[in-house]
Chain A
Amino acid sequence: MLTLLLLGIPFLSALVLFFGKSQSAKSIALTTTLLGFILSLAALFVFKTNPNSDLLKINLPWIDSLGVRFDLSITAVGILLVLLSNFLLPLIVLSAFKNEYKRAYNFFALILLMQSAMLGVFMANDGFLFYVFWELALIPIYFICLLWGGEDRGRITFKFFVYTLLGSLFMLIGLIYIYNHTNVNGLKSWNVNDMYAAGKLLTVKQQSIVFWFIFLAFAVKMPVFPFHTWQPNTYVNAPTQGTMLLSGIMLKMGTFGAIKWLLPMVPMGVAHSGGTAITLSIIGIVYASCIAIVQTDYKRLIAYSSIAHVGFMSAGILAANQQGIQGAYMQMLAHGCSVVGLFLVADILFRHTGTRDITKLGGIRNMNGNFAVLFLIITFDAVALPFTNSFVGEFITFSGVFKYSLVASAFAGLTIILSAVYMLRSYQKIMLGEIKQNAGVEFGPLASSDKTILIVICIAIIAFGVYPKPLNDIAEEGAKQIITLIKQP
């Protein structure tokens, strides 16, 4: 029931916005997303009291002849992502309050549609349904970027769409291949557990091929080197809210997909080909970090830092041990918070000074001390300092990768050092030193909506940095479940 509400309310609200063309689209969207957040907290509460509660499940027939069911549930594997999405979405909607978009009702309706689709991805228990939601999430974000993006958005969003779709189609083939091998009393089934069972029966060679087919979709979405070329341009050109959706939540579809739809499905394939994929992830970490260091556009810098961070998560996941997965869960939460915060900072900088160019900025701390503090906390989070929530995730992931391979962990560890280089240096250039931009023009106080978002994010960063246990327990349980599924004969 809760699952259906989580999915249905944003969807219906989006329809209302599309057709109602309401002037108060902002408040409707904010109310809807806040409602989603409350519902997700309720789901967490129910989950804590009784993980098998019927409230968290829905299972209806959809396409009988194909064995496709509308089967959604909130489990330990997905609940953190559901929470994260519902936590970030009100903030993302709130961040748009200062911008006057043309036809805002369409803008917010698309965000809500995307919310619905992304939650579907995190809750689906049916391979086909998973794929449908996966693709559905792409369409709203495509239009958000196409209609409200920056210059040259036509070409850039197009590249993004084709890249993602190509990856997804390969995944579809991989999933159909597994589906064709399922056998439940002589019938085929899209149910995730049946697919796990079928995938495990394949030979190593088959499993590796399926691994690459499915991993390709996730690799494009995350993105992992060398499938990342769409990402920086898209992030920079998308409107801030689009970038936040892409990096804060949509990116996690890739990592989550790898955890739920890859590791337990073709474990031998992961064991056989995962090494190559981890190598790619680690190359991505070093490569993206190095590029991030020389960026002058702050938004682009965050985009590259995001590739580095996600490469680290991907390495942790593909290491396929409990620490790796658990750490990746925590990393996903932390990265969601920090990246949304950083993109908001980039947006604030641009709105207040008219530029995001690091070399042209300086001394903002002297003009707005509060902003400097909030920005600093988020920067520390991106660097994964102790007592920020990134630290927990990074530490556990690191131990997971270390268990897998010493060399891999040595290189993956570079992410910690390199991220400190580019994050701290950019902070220093933007906030400290002499005032450079348009001397005499005041930076001015932050808008209350911006301030609210930054404060909420900083609270989350510190609170779960100091006391990560409640989330960490769930992450541990999720990781344990996945490991059990992998080991199951």
Chain B
Amino acid sequence: MKGLLVISGLGIIAMLAEIFKFKKVLLPLVLIGIALAYTLNVFEWNTPCDISYFSNMIAFDKVAIAFSGIIIITAFFWFILSHNYFEEDSNLVDHFTLVLFVIVGALMLTAFKNMTTLFLGIEIMSIPLYVLASSKKKDIKSNEAGFKYLIMGSFASGFLLFGIALIYGATGTFDINLISEYTSQNAANMPMFFYVGVIMILVAMSFKVSAAPFHFWAPDVYHGSPTLITALMSTVVKTAAFAAILRLFMIAFSGISESWTLILAVIIALSLVIANFSAAMQSNVKRMLAFSSISHAAFMLMVVLANVRSNLSLNAVIYYSLAYSLASIVAFGVLHVAAKNANGNENTDAFNGLAKKNPMLAFCMTIAMLSLGGIPITAGFFAKYFVFTALIGTSFKWLLVLAILASAIGIYYYLKIVIAMFYQKHDGEKTFELDKPQAIAIVLSTLAILVIGVLPGLIANMFKM
């Protein structure tokens, strides 16, 4: 909770920076603020977890704290990574504020206790993102991205709101614990429109995590937005959306799981197939990563599907989110640097010969790609492993075979980049240096991938079995 307050405060302070003219120190200030928020967040771990705020609107239990931790730490890396993205821009302060409020919304999503908080969180997170997506004002692709994102996002919000209203109509409450209680007591005679509401929420959340067939916005938006904003979308936003899904479907709707598991299984299967085949076709790396993020969303949804309301699945989703966020930070960071050195070329050939130009960067990218592909001893392997373990005990074993085939196709497009870096001939200048902060963010994330890959117990033990 304190973390949320600190970051909201930071957002407001950032807004004042233009007036009081402390633009220059804003980045260090934000970094310190985020570090502080992280520390406060960690200290909340051992406090009793049933404290809720604002008459049960929001509660930071251990799950929320764990997800907040992931979000804050990726946000920290993200700010380091994008320090010169801000310097170049004239609307520095606006961007800071918007990004900070994205994080505020994301943190709310990890901790909501009430459907209205869920909606608020999603809106607080999404609205600044619409603006950020189109923040390259003179780029038509960026405008398209923002526009598409806004329309699709509003559409999803409409679904969400409608779903919430239907559920309220059936249960008479917004509180997720009370919804859960009500459904388990009256499981036999829930009205039809309650289930319609649940499915609408499922659809809306699928929009938000870009699961097929609600993924059509994702490639264009990822492609058009500035690379670093795409990085933000695929890390912070994705983690938050998953925290929300987990809370909704493992607490509020876990009692009526038979009504939504099959639909979810179909969504997952579609996502795996569509995302992986489409990703394999892409030459633009950002689009490829967009499709890969759809595929990873499917993997995380598998844990929700397994619906063992146990610490095993919690650990699995938390570990997966962290592994995926770290790898994404590295991937987008390296892409950002590589594209800049290839005159804005974001295709696979921007990576040609990177191993010779900058071996360190190529190494980091290789680890990130192997992690996304799920090769030991990177974090991505254990992420996949936990998902497989969660799913193998359920009746959806057929999804496992699909998931394996999807992983194999996944390796195809991740290796394309590795091959480009190590094997393809390069042209243009010989070597290039990257500036210190970016290098630090990329190397630290890479190390983190390896560390939690070798010692998964650090994260995967968070909730005792």
Q: Which residues of A contact B (CB under 8 A)?
A: 62-66, 131-132, 135-136, 138-139, 143, 146-147, 153-154, 158, 161-162, 165-166, 169-170, 172-173, 176-177, 180
Contacts and interface: CB of A to CB of B under 8 A. Distances in A.
22 contacts: A63-B455, A64-B461, A131-B376, A136-B376, A138-B375, A139-B375, A146-B419, A147-B423, A153-B423, A154-B423, A162-B408, A162-B411, A162-B415, A165-B375, A165-B407, A169-B408, A170-B404, A172-B385, A173-B388, A173-B404, A176-B389, A180-B393
A369 B375 CA distance: 48
Contacts of B437: none
B392 A176 contact: yes
B456 interface: yes
Interface residues of B, number: 31
B407 A143 contact: no
Contacts of A65: 315, 457, 460-461, 465
A135 B376 contact: yes
B423 A173 contact: no
A64 to B, nearest CB: 6
Given A65-B460, A176-B388, A177-B392, A146 B422 contact: yes
Nearest to A136: B376
Contacts of B385: 172, 176
Nearest to A166: B408
Given A153-B423, A169-B407, 20 more contacts: A63-B460, A65-B465, A66-B460, A132-B376, A132-B381, A135-B375, A135-B376, A136-B376, A147-B423, A154-B419, A161-B415, A165-B373, A165-B408, A165-B411, A166-B405, A169-B404, A169-B408, A176-B388, A176-B392, A180-B393
A362 B393 CA distance: 62
A90 B408 CA distance: 34
Contact of A132 (B377, B400, B404, B460): B377
A153 B424 CA distance: 11
A66 B388 CA distance: 13
Nearest to A133: B376
Interface in B388-437: 388-389, 392-393, 400, 404-405, 407-408, 411-412, 415, 418-419, 422-424
Interface in B362-384: 370, 373, 375-377, 381
Contacts of A131: 376
B456 A135 contact: no
Interface string B212-234: 00000000000000000000000
Count chain A CB atoms within 10 A of each CB in B377, B407, B415 and give the residue with the most: B415
Contacts of A165: 373, 375, 407-408, 411
A185 to B, nearest CB: 15
A20 to B, nearest CB: 14
Interface of B: 315, 370, 373, 375-377, 381, 385, 388-389, 392-393, 400, 404-405, 407-408, 411-412, 415, 418-419, 422-424, 455-457, 460-461, 465
B220 to A, nearest CB: 29
Contacts of A176: 385, 388-389, 392
A153 B405 CA distance: 24
A66 B460 CA distance: 9
A119 to B, nearest CB: 16
Count chain A CB atoms within 10 A of each CB in B376, B385, B422, B455 and give the residue with the most: B376
Nearest to B373: A165
Nearest to B312: A65
Contacts of B412: 158, 162
B231 to A, nearest CB: 26
Nearest to A177: B392
A146 B423 CA distance: 7
Contacts of A161: 411, 415
Contacts of B461: 64-65
Contacts of A162: 408, 411-412, 415
Count chain A CB atoms within 10 A of each CB in B419, B424, B461 and give the residue with the most: B419
Contacts of B376: 131-132, 135-136
A63 B419 contact: no
Nearest to A153: B423
Contacts of B419: 146, 154, 158
A171 to B, nearest CB: 10
Contact of B392 (A62, A154, A180): A180
Contacts of A153: 423
A149 B412 CA distance: 19
B244 to A, nearest CB: 26
A63 B393 contact: no
Nearest to B453: A132
Contacts of B423: 146-147, 153-154
A165 to B, nearest CB: 6
A64 B456 CA distance: 10
Task: Name the 4 nearest CB pairs between A and B, nearest first.
Answer: A166-B408, A169-B404, A132-B376, A135-B376
